[in-house]
Structure 1
Amino acid sequence: MTHRQRRFAAGRTALTFLAVLGTLAGAALVGAAPAGAVQGETEIAPGVVYEEFDIPAAKGVTHAHVLSVDLRDPRVRLELLYPGAVAARAPVSGMADAAGAVAGVNGDFFNITETQHPGVEATGASVGPAVAQGRALKGAVPNGQRFGPALPPGTSTEDVIGVGTDRRARLDELALDGSIRTPEGELPLGGLNQYALPVGSIGAFTAEWGAASRVRATCGTDTDRGAQCSTDTYEVTVRDGRVVSTADTPGNGPIAPETTVLVGREAGAQHLRKLFAGARVTVRHRLVAAATRTPYRFALGGHPVLRSGQPLPGLDGTTSAVRTAVGIADGGRRLLLLASDGAPEYRSGLTIAEVAAIMRELGALDAFNLDGGGSTTLAARAPRESTVAVRNHPSAGVERPVPNGIGVFSSP
């Protein structure tokens, strides 16, 4: 039994989410550990420690894989992993290796399917805001357009976990602030590189979006993801500050650098129809943080489960699943990246309430839930290896391509 397993067994009464935990204390590991994984702690790089251990949970023992990341070490940093475009997906291990990361976990929930909109392709784009190397990549879709389980009360698609230029991690909200200056006056900007736009709004798509169709952005409503696609749409392409083309329906294909494609639906489409070729148009956008004025180096979406050491009210304590989560400890100077194992013997997983309690037991004061199920992946290098290996068993048997993740970097 590892130190962490002993601590969970001895301190299980601190995990107050279910009395049944007492009956599972000291449960033996069921089945073999993932290939290359070793029970206990391993320093995989300066400031980065990998650990795995059993957790007694409501529906049986689950197996946790945890990375402890020390941001007090100047050699360590976190960055957004993504495949080079917002509307694209790739396996965590591939993104980590391509970026030179020593480890990584999957990130935000995303537009994974479009069964309710025949003929419309899923974009693969994530739900919440995203910031990469200080650049705002995208804004948050309306709450009703979110993929994933129901949000806890008081949270929204604008919630993020991020690391600022001060090298401190924090929970926050990032709201889109933007405008479109036209000869007809100034218009509000309703979205940035999003797979869903608010009803009646105009969204901006840049080269960061990728080549995916922009039709999905005009489907559903602010409260009903499955509502039909809008029949009142318009698209305007702006290059070097002037309108260069227009279209009645959203298009697809790569967007050239220094080019912005504006997509409008309903009232937004009616405003865009007033623009003509050659008209001067200026698009401005930024993501505004609610909790700090410190710029974010990296941020991505999900939802909080723990704030200031207290679980959020109304967390689901009945639905168990394979989970990915991030905990913030030591005043934002240490992060805990957790992925539960998806092997058949552990697949019952954890409830969201259990995730909050476990993160608190591990020392986190704040914690954030990321996409789980078949997306849950934790990849890490072995000491002195040059590539990462997937440490957990993905529940589908293979890695699921995802739109983004958290990359852990450690310089020699």
Structure 2
Amino acid sequence: MTSERPRRTAARATVAVLAAFGVFSGAVLAGAAPAGASADTSVPVAPGVRYEWRDVAVAQGAARIHVLSVDLRDPRVAVDLLHPGKVAARDTVSRMADAQGAVAGVNGDFFNITETQHPGVEATGASVGPAIAHGLPLKGAVPDGQRFGPALPPGTTTEDVLGVGRDGRARLDRLTLRGTVSAGADRLPLGGLNQYALPVGSVGAYDKEWGSVSRLRATCGTDTNRAAPCSAETYEVTVRGGRVVAVAERPGGGEIPAGTTVLVGREAGAHRLREVAVGERVEVRYRLVPSVARQPYRMAVGGYPVLRDGLPLPGLDDRTAAVRTAAGIADAGRRLLLVCVDGSPGRAGLTVAEVAGFLRGVGALDGFNLDGGGSSALVAREPGAGAVVVRNRPAGSAERPVANGIGIHSAAGGS
């Protein structure tokens, strides 16, 4: 049974944050101008999709916040993952949106942006958490200790996702990789799928979705220390057409053809793979298992929850203000709110706690934090235009190539 005291404390914290904004449920997008915020713009992007920006008073000064409101009830609206075509790749939100025909979108998950701790190892650009695009799993989550980005709030994990199901509803969920590698009578658990970091002692699978970047990074660090040295015990097995066609002591790179799976093992996983011989028949099976949804997701993107059932999660950072991107879920999953803080000089950033408060203030009951800082970008088409425009000013003035994003599609095109 949940204690009422933490819930009351969290509720008081929510009211305090909302009072600081002067924003209460539904006020911003309903057209009313709450105290402390100015009603600046609200324009249609496409049927069921609206964009606006607001100047809002926060602890560090005046913040400009850009908001996309997406009506998931509208049959002309669809949400999918924006991605650059490969897991180990990066591109700007605007180019991904235009390439995939999206009318609007924001950046998505945190990603493997640098490898200063591992000289000679290539940063992959791959995202931290699970990813699903067009209903198909692209990758699993790296171990918590291997993530890039700020510390996770208590009780959250790299497996947390924001997803939109085939029923058209948005949800917060958790996706766990379940898979096996079968070789003869031997069956190994699968520890990773197209991930830049594998759990210690595991075997991971890489396919055509990974890209051409070296898989060596997957064997560096540990489950609790991203900066730990790369493993000295590795092995790689290439499976094509259900049979082993090549083996190697060290993970390699290069494009993986369709119908081919590369298995990478570290420590105990490497020892198990060494028992598999060239020519042997091998079967790899996997799926991403949700903890909440009872039906498949059309899309899912990683990040971490900040708001559940209208209450902020305990332990949210209330000190560090920064440019942020986040998503809110309202109306029982039928409305998606995509939020991006402007990075213009002189504009204030938001703390993660303030992000949760703002999301609640615009009507969300659940909220999800995405990558921020130089990665934050919100794009939307001008009425009648065929390409998106970056609506916020990214920190650093130019769009940063990112691992993925959330794309909004309209069967009716732009307004």
Give the SS at the match of 2:211. Answer: coil
1:143-158 correspondence to structure 2 within 5 Å: 143-158=144-159
Counterpart of 1:233 in structure 2 is 234
Alpha-carbon displacement from aligned partner over 1:272-327 (angstroms, at most 9, x marks no partner): 11111101100001000000111000001000000011110111111110000000
User: Does the residue aligned with 2:269 lie in a helix, a strand or coil?
Assistant: helix
Whether the 8 Å contact between 2:21 and 2:358 is mirrored in structure 1 is no
Q: Does 1:49 align with 2:50?
A: yes
**Match in the other structure for 1:380:** 380
Cα drift, residue 18 of structure 1: 8.2
Offset at 1:17? Answer: 2.6
On the 8 A contact 1:18/1:58 being kept in 2, the answer is no
8 Å CA contact 1:27–1:61 kept in 2: the answer is: no
User: Runs (4+) of structure 1 moved beyond 6 Å?
Assistant: 25-29
Identify the residue that residue 336 of structure 1 maps to in structure 2: 337
List per-residue Cα deviations over 1:338-372 (Å, max 9, x = no partner).
000001111x3000000001100100000100000
Decide whether the 8 Å contact of 1:134 with 1:295 is kept in 2: yes
The aligned length equals 389
Q: CA RMSD in A?
A: 1.6
Cα contact 1:14–1:361 (8 A) shared by 2? no
**Unaligned residue ranges in structure 2 (runs of 5+):** 1-12, 23-33
Shift of 1:195: 0.1
1:77 and 1:410 in contact (8 A); partners too? yes
Identity %: 65
* Paired residue type of 2:140: G
Q: Secondary structure at the match of 2:225?
A: coil
CA–CA distance in structure 2, aligned partners of residues 48 and 39 of structure 1: 17
Q: CA deviation at 1:40?
A: 1.3
2:367 pairs with 1:367: yes
Q: SS state of the match for residue 380, structure 1?
A: strand
Matched ranges for 1:17-28 at <5 A: 17=17
Structure 2 CA distance for partners of 1:28 and 1:295, relative to 1, 3 Å: closer
The alpha-carbon deviation at position 387 of structure 1 amounts to 0.4
Match of 2:404, as an amino acid? N
Q: Is the 8 A contact 1:15 1:361 kept in 2?
A: no
* Counterpart contact for 2:142–2:197, Cα < 8 Å: yes
TM-score by length of 1: 0.92
Corresponding residue number in structure 2 for 1:70: 71
Match of 1:288 in 2: 289
Q: CA deviation at 1:183?
A: 2.4
Deviation of 1:44 after TM superposition, in Å, equals: 1.0
Match of 1:410 in 2: 410
Map residues 172-211 of structure 1 onto 2, 5 A cutoff. Answer: 172-183=173-184, 185-211=186-212
Q: Distance in 1 between matches of 2:70 and 2:21?
A: 28
Using the alignment, how far apart are the partners of 2:260 and 2:341 within structure 1?
42
Q: Deviations over 1:144-181 (max 9, x none)?
A: 00000000000000000010011000000000000000
The residue that corresponds to 1:306 in the other structure is 307
CA distance in 2, matches of 1:50, 1:292: 29
Provide the secondary structure at the position in 1 that maps to 2:42.
strand
Q: What residue in structure 2 maps to residue 321 of structure 1?
A: 322
Partner of 2:8: none
Write the letter of the residue equivalent to 2:42: E
One-letter amino acid of the structure 2 residue matched with residue 105 of structure 1:
V
* Deviation for aligned residue 1:26: 6.2
Deviations 1:59-107 (CA, angstroms, capped at 9, x unpaired): 1110000000001000001010001000000000000001111001000
Which amino acid in structure 2 is aligned with residue 335 of structure 1? L
Question: Which letter maps to 1:233?
Answer: T
C-alpha distance in 2, partners of 1:21/1:214?
46
Distance (whole Å) between structure 2 residues aligned to residue 395 and residue 26 of structure 1: 27
Determine helix, strand or coil for the equivalent of 2:17: coil
Equivalent residues of 2:14, 2:311 under 8 A apart: no
1:64 alignment partner AA: I
Per-residue CA deviations over 1:178-222 (Å, capped at 9, x if unaligned) read: 000012510000000000000000000000000010000000000
Residue identity opposite 2:349 in structure 1: G
AA partner of residue 309 (structure 1): G
Q: What amino acid is the match of 1:276?
A: A
Distance 1:260 1:152, change over 3 A: same
Once structures 1 and 2 are overlaid, which stretch shifts more, 128-137 or 178-187?
178-187
Secondary structure (helix, strand or coil) at the match of 2:66 reads strand
User: Which AA in structure 2 matches 1:300?
Assistant: V
Match of 1:271 in 2: 272
What SS class does the counterpart of residue 93 from structure 1 fall into? helix
Does the 8 A contact of 2:37 with 2:54 survive in 1? no
Identify if the C-alpha distance between structure 1 residues 15 and 248 changes in structure 2 by more than 3 Å, giving closer, same or farther.
same
Distance in 2 of aligned mates of 1:72 and 1:184: 49
- Report the Cα distance in structure 2 between the residues aligned to 1:324 and 1:80, rounded to whole angstroms: 15
Distance 2:131 2:138 in 1: 5
CA distance in structure 2 between the partners assigned to 1:168 and 1:18 by the alignment: 26
Distance of 1:368 and 1:400 partners within structure 2 = 21
Identify if the C-alpha distance between structure 1 residues 73 and 39 changes in structure 2 by more than 3 Å, giving closer, same or farther: same
Give the equivalent residue in structure 1 for 2:29: none
Q: How many Å apart are 1:411 and its aligned residue?
A: 1.3
Q: Distance in 1 between matches of 2:126 and 2:354?
A: 28
CA contact (8 A) 2:321 2:350 kept: yes
Seen in structure 2, the aligned counterparts of structure 1 residues 136 and 329 have a Cα distance that, compared at 3 Å, is: same
Q: Aligned equivalents of 2:173 and 2:399: distance in 1?
A: 29
Q: Specify the alignment match of 1:90 in structure 2.
A: 91
Q: Which residue of 2 aligns with 1:8?
A: none
Query: Structure 1 residue 396: deviation in Å?
Result: 1.2
Q: Which residue of 1 aligns with 2:6?
A: none
1:55 shift after superposition:
1.3
SS in 1 for 2:94: helix
Opposite residue 170 of structure 1, the aligned amino acid is R
Structure 1, gaps ≥5 residues long: 1-12, 30-37
Q: 1:393 maps to which residue?
A: 393
Q: Distance in 2 between matches of 1:85 and 1:256?
A: 13
